[in-house]
Amino acid sequence: MVLPGGAHSGVSQLRRGILQFCVLALLRDGEKYAFELVRELCDAHDLATSEGTIYPLLSRLRKEGWVSTAWQESETGPPRRYYTLTASGRTALSDFAREWGTFKSTVDKLLDQ
Amino acid sequence: MVLPGGAHSGVSQLRRGILQFCVLALLRDGEKYAFELVRELCDAHDLATSEGTIYPLLSRLRKEGWVSTAWQESETGPPRRYYTLTASGRTALSDFAREWGTFKSTVDKLLDQ
DNA sequence: GGCAGGTACCTTGTAGCGCATGGTACTTCC
DNA sequence: GGAAGTACCATGCGCTACAAGGTACCTGCC
């Protein structure tokens, strides 16, 4: 999938450390598989992402114990690995939401004044 | 200078691509030198930074042409290299402020809902 | 049958940036 | 003259987003 913005544009750097929590947020409402997550992140403009980003990211989330996975057959293609938010993943998400809030206001204060 | 949070904590990743524009923002009101910038960023909580971060960062800003520099003698210590925001630096800063606004609202939409 | 295209998974290598660490040099104070 | 503070800088590492490429399954078309 070809994306606008280039490899290491400014926006790309912004995603660092945030993208994983956006994925966790998308998983709050139920299990999803990787391809589906890529599409949803592309729909949410400014978060357009490729598979090369998502798969390693999901692998890290699994290692952290923030998601659990289960294979399911698909009627329209190859089998899918579905990701589900765990309890500790939910905690990590709400912890990050707090951090994000304070960080955001710090940056806003600097930029806006 | 020893900082809390560790080398590669979550907050550290958040700063990526943002820190340089916070520095530009600090330079809006007049020239400053590196050590001064470190102190001001430390005062602004959540942006505590060390010299090992600032000096390469300022070097990049200079290469981009976003800041210009001039040496000035100090009466209380070694000479200081003062950094001044250029016209293109000012443009880059306001461009980023727009990007930051849309990015912020995108993330907020995902996290808050 | 065979081939193109879509779906879905994954790996490998690269690059950038923040950070830890360490080094140099000047000044002040004890 | 030694310690502490100020001020500069360089080197090496680790994390993460991305590009590029690879495998396998299914459908539809010729």
Which tens digits make up the pLDDT trace of A41-88?
A: 998 777 999 999 999 999 999 999 999 999 999 988 899 999 999 999
Per-residue confidence (pLDDT) for residue B8, from 0 to 100: 54
Q: Could B111 and A26 be called an inter-chain contact, meaning their C-beta atoms sit closer than 8 Å?
A: no
Shortest CA gap A73–chain B (Å): 29
Check residue B4 and give its pLDDT.
45
What A62-66 contacts at long range (C-beta under 8 Å, 24+ apart), as own/partner pairs, is: A64/A88, A64/A89, A64/A92, A65/A89, A66/A24, A66/A92
Average confidence (pLDDT) over B25-45: 93
- Residues 18-37/A with CB < 7 A to strand D: 18-20
pLDDT digits (tens, 9 = 90+) for B87-113: 999 999 999 999 999 999 999 999 987
N-term to C-term CA, chain A? 39
Report chain C positions within 7 A of protein CB atoms.
6-13, 15-23, 25-28
B3 pLDDT above the threshold of 50? no
Q: Is the per-residue pLDDT at B63 higher than 80?
A: yes
Give the pLDDT band of residue A9 (cuts 50, 70, 90): low
Mean of all residue pLDDT scores within chain B: 90
Residues of B in contact with A103 (CB under 8 A): 11, 14, 46
Mapping DSSP to helix (H, G, I), strand (E, B) and coil, where does residue A84 land?
strand
pLDDT over 90 at A98, yes or no = yes
Across B66-87, average pLDDT:
95
Q: Please report which confidence band the pLDDT of residue B21 belongs to, taking 50, 70 and 90 as the band edges.
A: very high
Taking only the tens place, the pLDDT of each residue in B36-48 is: 999 999 987 678 8
Delimit the domains of chain B by residue range: 10-112
Which of A45, A46, A110 is closest, CB to CB, to B25? A110
- Cα–Cα distance between A74 and B61 in angstroms, integer? 50
**Domain boundaries B10-112, corresponding CATH code:** 1.10.10.10
Mean pLDDT in residue range B46-58? 93
The answer to whether B13 contacts chain A (CB < 8 Å) is: yes
Q: What percent of chain B has pLDDT over 90?
A: 79
Interface of A with B in 21-60 (CB under 8 A): 21-22, 25-26, 44-47
Place of tokens 């942006």: B47
Chain D bases near protein Cβ (<7 Å) = 5-12, 14-21, 24-27
Chain B hits for A22, CB-CB cut-off 8 Å, are: 107, 110-111
Answer for the pair A58, A34: CB distance below 8 angstroms, yes or no.
Answer: yes
Say what the pLDDT of residue B1 is: 45
B71 vs A40: CA distance, rounded Å: 51
Predicted confidence (pLDDT) at residue A97 exceeds the cutoff of 60: yes
What tokens appear for B38 in the block?
């470190």
